[in-house]
Structure 1
Amino acid sequence: MDPACFLPSHQFRGSALGLDMYKPPAKTGRTEQQQPKAVEPTRIITDPVTGRAYSKGRLLGKGGFARCYEMTDLSSSQTYAVKVIPHSRVAKPHQREKIINEIELHKDLHHKHIVKFSHHFEDLENIYIFLEHCSRKSLAHIWKSRHTLLEPEVRYYLKQIISALKYLHLKNILHRDLKLGNFFINENMELKVGDFGLAARQEPTDQRKKTICGTPNYLAPEVLLRQGHGPESDVWSLGCVMYTLLCGNPPFETSDLKETYKCIKHVTYTLPVFLSIPAKNLLMGILKRNPEDRLTLEEILHHEFFTKGYIPDKLPPSSCVMVPELNPPNPAKSLFVKVTKTLFGKRKSKVKKPPSEERDEISKLVTGLVKTSICRQLSHKTVEGNEVTPLCGQSPSSSPAETVAEEGSRKSVSRSIRGTTTSTSEVFEDCVTASAVIESAVGLLKNCLSTMPPAERNPASLACHEHFIWVSKWVDYSNKYGFGYQLSNRSIGVLFNDGTHMTLSANWKKVHYNLTNSKHFSFPASAVPEQLQEQMGVLQYFASYMEQHLMKGGDLPSIDEAGHLPLLLLQWVKTDQALLMLFSSGTFQVNFYNDHTKIIFSKPDHSCLLTYINRDRNSYTYKLSSIAELGCSPELQYRLKYILKLLLERADS
């Protein structure tokens, strides 16, 4: 009997239990009171046969048939992910048969990249299935935070999925529901394939199961056409997973389900231009209408996408929410290093322009890397590029402001730019430095936190105040080029990895270039010196993408550009919790990753203002002196203490 045959042909489910583990309930138009209520298990669960007791913890996910809880064995302190299925939900024989099928199949699987089945039991109310607990949730959560992954990350995860699939197929088992939500990540960033609610034994071709089951965006054409399931159907779903991770959405996804099915049946999809050639070729080799024409799992592993591409041995946990800093071999061969040498080499005048083919390659590289990796703050995305290539002698952890070009090279570029007829040059006296901004901020925060009384809420927000410039969008691409940002006055800036800074005015007509904090040049955007064309290209790509695709990070109003001199980003620092940006105006801003709150310190009238942008992107501005006098909410106080700690660490470094 097909485990999914009780479903009507138009219905699809991610598992026999109607559950994506670790997945929060979907929002619908129905109120919580209207939702059918499952019987909540008691706080302590006892196996009626062994007498072993378990403490029920937090809810990990829920679906139509089951809920998944974190549970701890009280005698051994072992933690499990436990599916809890009320008997009332599986009262019909075929429903119970599906659960028995899942248990019998899963408990016989033993592989490094498959979620481990521990044991199961039932009491008067529920059936309990104890599974390996994966603390970092699933690829679906990572995708939700990142939207797109780098090619090395995709290779890392796909290699583990393929390892599990080869094992399953050798045991004549088809998963039949491969999707991001069924790939779980443990504490060590190892992937585990899970949820075998739709899995089935492989049958001879003429006896293959023809029931449509799975997740619509990942269904193979032969499944939709009721031609039966085979291992090739799992390979198809694997291709859809690869596409989704690289491109940000499933290949056949549309707003209309019937149109999606039509696209799948005719294999109609688009390969974005930013994908690498090996990635495109691999996807085209997998997403073939005829199952026999698709690459096998072994052929996929031997494809140049894997054999000629960098695969990390391990990914850092931070990659769950932000782009990781990777260290592929031979970083000195990077194209960007070649560009940097061309721009800032000591013998610039003797260096020939790169051939047109190489210039085209550089242009395509920049286009592709930016499009695949740009961040959108509201969807938790941050960017650091495709494959990390630190500049000469630069450690991955050092910030761009700490990396400076060789003095001789700077002087050479300075003389070259001065020689152009379109540029103007200015030298600023008494320039603000990052250390000065940090020193001032530390003093203000220490004084505020030491004097403020306890309070449960923030003081009244200022109804009207002078507007200030802040960062509304940002792009961290420092492992190849630099850190880009859009200001509230709509100008765009990039602090490059060599310590130079370039700004594009809001109307895209004027460019400001700073060799140092004090040496400034400006020229029309149409007449950028040849020496800076490559940097200008990177800046324009950043600007175009942020303008077209990124959402503003708060409700503060935009302001007109004032004056002809740009606001300089002096230094930026990323921690595992927040991003700190220090500016030449003395303003500094801290963006917190987990809830997208932001705090901005500014001095528009020489009395420090603190602006707090909450998770709903609503902004509130207070005088810092008012907070010191009246106190603030525990939530804001926690952030202020964290910022002070962060600044003190920077001051000591």
Structure 2
Amino acid sequence: MADVFHLELHDVETVEVDDSDDAIEIEEDEYDQNPNINAIVETDDTETVQLTEQTVNPGQEKTGPQDFELRKVLGKGGYGKVFQVRKLTGTDANTVFAMKVLRKASIVRNQKDTAHTKAERNILEEVKHPFIVDLKYAFQTGGKLYLILEYLSGGELFMHLEREGIFLEDTACFYLAEIILALEHLHGQGIIYRDLKPENILLDAQGHVKLTDFGLCKEHINEGILTHTFCGTIEYMAPEILTRHGHGKEVDWWSLGALTYDMLTGAPPFTAENRKKTIEKILRVKLNLPPYLTGDARDLVRKLLKRQVPSRLGAAPEDAQAVKQHQFFKHINWDDVLSRKLDPPFKPSLSGDDDVSQFDTKFTKQTPVDSPVESTLSESANLIFQGFTYIAPSVLGEQMPSHVVRARSPRKPGSSFRRHFGFTHAQHGNILGPHCSFPETPSGGASHHHNHHNHNPFAPAHNFNMASAGEEMMEVGSGLPHV
């Protein structure tokens, strides 16, 4: 083959480059090494600009506790409080929100609580969906964290289920359809929810579903990836969590089956007088379905509550698509569900955007006070919460790039702990960190019947999180307001 190129290599010659054109020549007396700044500022050709938050960071709103008026107490816990507030400033002035206030000193005591707090806040920033509660602001002071969320005046689904006793199948179908789309969205983002139950499902003013409390979520769980954290609320926990063999997104479909059973019968499918016996039932006892359920409802519950994960409805890779195609949902138009076009079976009777009638009067009658912090954190401890601040793009009126810093108890009379906005409690109370909720009633047993009279949306419950097989540790919930 003939040579295409013929190259000859020679010794490299030094080439002098004339860069004199780049030089700036000035006389020594033309350059003042000690200029008089005041004299320069006072000249006519100098423009003066005052440095403010608006001029340095144009278009970004600086928000803090001073921008919100406390209206009502919605709940309390060991880490802080949840308030109904009204915005005083900005383009969204007069808007009503829920404000979750968390004490940093309580959170930093436990490394897991800190990690879960940050993880949930990040999930709330990243995940935007019609059936998931919306985070509007996040900010902090020297001693506290603040999460500002949309105010969901419809209250907990738990309260409405408690009042009705059971739901008709059409009613249950409506709520389940919206919940399925929320879970589908989370799973598509690689997130397992892991705490699906009536207490964590809120209704907005129109009666549509909103999932709250993301303290037990696990991120980065994609196809074939398992996690081993022992967490959740026992009555709704999948067998593979209890056996600690590793679990994936399928645990949410088991919980959906338990929730479906609860809606249609008035109680979760497996309950007993203590958590050990409840676990035994979940792992071994045959599912008992009441005869009044339709064939489609019975089949849906049976397929969701399959103990063998590969046989469970919704098991990978089909995930939500298999659940949506079940005959129980044969009359559902899923595009209409996503567009919120279906008519909710229950529409809250509200007097205005600040109505608190769906919340426990034990809290709403209290005087709202954001108590002062008793102690402040060191500078190094405060660095843990670096990057916590957030303003939703919808508030700014433009799409801003996300900035993410990576870092429960069932119904029971008298001592139930309710988290309208993810408020949780571990002995001393808890609102923000993830938690594994193990039910304890005053008599030491688990309760599974609805009892609205004693229902307390933010009451304390004993939440435990098994960090490893032989270690049981108290942990606070991360809810939303665990954020």
TM-score range, shorter chain: 0.5 to 0.7
Contact 1:202 1:208 (8 Å CA) reproduced: no
Counterpart pick for 1:121 among 139, 143, 151: 139
Greater CA deviation, 122-131 or 274-283?
122-131
Are positions 1:55 and 2:58 aligned together?
Answer: no
Are positions 1:313 and 2:331 aligned together?
Answer: no
Matches within 5 A, 1:105-254: 105-203=123-221, 208-254=226-272
Give the structure with the larger strand fraction: 1
How does the TM-score come out when normalised to structure 2?
0.54
Q: CA RMSD in A?
A: 3.0
Compared CA separation, residues 317 and 227, structure 1 to 2 (3 A): same
Give the structure with the larger helix fraction: 1
Contact 2:236 2:255 (8 Å CA) reproduced: yes
How many angstroms does 1:133 deviate by? Answer: 1.0
What residue is the counterpart of 1:98 in the other structure?
116
> Structure 1: which 5+ residue stretches go unaligned?
1-46, 322-548, 550-592, 596-653
What residue is the counterpart of 2:5 in the other structure?
none
Comparing both chains, which one has the higher relative contact order based on Cα–Cα distances under 8 Å and sequence gaps of 6 or more? 2
Are positions 1:65 and 2:79 aligned together?
Answer: yes
Contact 2:64 2:139 (8 Å CA) reproduced: no
Compared CA separation, residues 303 and 319, structure 1 to 2 (3 A): farther
What residue is the counterpart of 2:324 in the other structure?
301
SS at structure 2 position matched to 1:262: helix
Contact 1:267 1:289 (8 Å CA) reproduced: no
Contact 1:282 1:305 (8 Å CA) reproduced: yes
What residue is the counterpart of 2:98 in the other structure?
81
What residue is the counterpart of 1:291 in the other structure?
309
Contact 1:152 1:309 (8 Å CA) reproduced: no
Aligned counterparts of 2:198 and 2:349: Cα–Cα separation in 1: 13
Contact 2:262 2:268 (8 Å CA) reproduced: yes
SS at structure 1 position matched to 2:155: coil
**1:263-319 per-position Cα deviation (integer Å, ceiling 9, x unaligned):** 111253310111111100110111000111111122222111110589992135458
Sequence identity of aligned pairs in percent? 30
How many angstroms does 1:48 deviate by? Answer: 7.9
How many angstroms does 1:57 deviate by? Answer: 2.1
> Structure 2: which 5+ residue stretches go unaligned?
1-60, 315-319, 351-448, 455-483
Aligned counterparts of 1:150 and 1:256: Cα–Cα separation in 2: 30
**1:22-53 per-position Cα deviation (integer Å, ceiling 9, x unaligned):** xxxxxxxxxxxxxxxxxxxxxxxxx9866751
**1:506-557 per-position Cα deviation (integer Å, ceiling 9, x unaligned):** xxxxxxxxxxxxxxxxxxxxxxxxxxxxxxxxxxxxxxxxxxx9xxxxxxxx
Aligned counterparts of 1:48 and 1:113: Cα–Cα separation in 2: 28
Contact 1:138 1:184 (8 Å CA) reproduced: yes
Counterpart pick for 2:289 among 258, 271, 288: 271
Are positions 1:258 and 2:281 aligned together?
Answer: no
Contact 2:64 2:140 (8 Å CA) reproduced: no
Compared CA separation, residues 240 and 77, structure 1 to 2 (3 A): same
Amino acid at match of 2:296: P
How many angstroms does 1:258 deviate by? Answer: 1.0
Contact 2:207 2:347 (8 Å CA) reproduced: no
Aligned counterparts of 1:159 and 1:205: Cα–Cα separation in 2: 23
Aligned counterparts of 1:228 and 1:63: Cα–Cα separation in 2: 31
Aligned counterparts of 2:453 and 2:203: Cα–Cα separation in 1: 19
Compared CA separation, residues 207 and 157, structure 1 to 2 (3 A): closer
Aligned counterparts of 1:227 and 1:255: Cα–Cα separation in 2: 25
Aligned counterparts of 1:320 and 1:177: Cα–Cα separation in 2: 28
Count of aligned residue pairs for this structure pair = 280
